[in-house]
Copies of this chain bind each other. A is one copy, B any other.
Amino acid sequence: MTANTILIAGAGAIGCYYGSLLANAGQSVSLLVRSGYDHIKQHGVEIDSIHGEWNFKPAHVIQHAAELPLTADYVLVTTKVTEQVDRAGLIRDAISPDTTIVLIQNGIDIEQEVAHAFPDNHLISGLAFICATRCQPGFVKHTAYGRLVIGDYPNGIREKTRRFAELFKNSGIDCNITDDVVTARWQKTVWNAPFNPVSVLSDGLDTQSVLQTREDYLRAIMTEVTEIAAALNHPLRDDIVDINIESTRSMPPYKTSMLLDYERGQCMETEAILGNAVRAAHGAGIEAPYLTSLYSLMKLKETRIAQSS
Contact = CB atoms under 8 A, between A and B. Distances in A.
Interface of A: 198, 201-205, 209-210, 213-214, 217, 220, 289-290, 292-294, 296-297, 299-301, 303-305, 307
A300 B204 CA distance: 10
Contacts of A220: 289, 292
Contacts of A293: 217, 289-290, 293-294
Contact of A214 (B203, B289, B300, B305): B300
Binding site secondary structure of chain A: helix
5 contacts: A205-B303, A213-B300, A214-B299, A214-B300, A290-B293
B203 A296 contact: no
Contacts of A201: 201, 297, 300-301
Contact of A301 (B203, B294, B296): B203
Given A293-B217, A293-B289, A307 B209 contact: yes
Pairs A-B, 3 closest by C-beta atoms: A289-B289, A293-B293, A217-B296
A221 B29 CA distance: 51
Nearest to A287: B220
Contacts of A198: 297, 300
Contact of A202 (B205, B217, B294, B304): B304
Nearest to A301: B202
Contacts of A292: 217, 220
- A210, A289, A299: which has the most chain B beta carbons within 10 Å? A289
A210 B290 contact: no
A210 B300 contact: yes
Nearest to A296: B217
A220 B203 CA distance: 25
A220 B214 CA distance: 23
B303 A213 contact: yes
Contacts of A203: 301, 304-305
Residue of A203, A204, A293 with most chain B CB atoms under a 10 A cut-off: A293
B303 A209 contact: yes
A113 to B, nearest CB: 24
Contacts of A204: 304
A180 to B, nearest CB: 29
Contacts of A217: 292-293, 296
A205 B301 CA distance: 8
A210 B97 CA distance: 47
Given A209-B303, A213-B303, A307-B209, A202 B290 contact: no
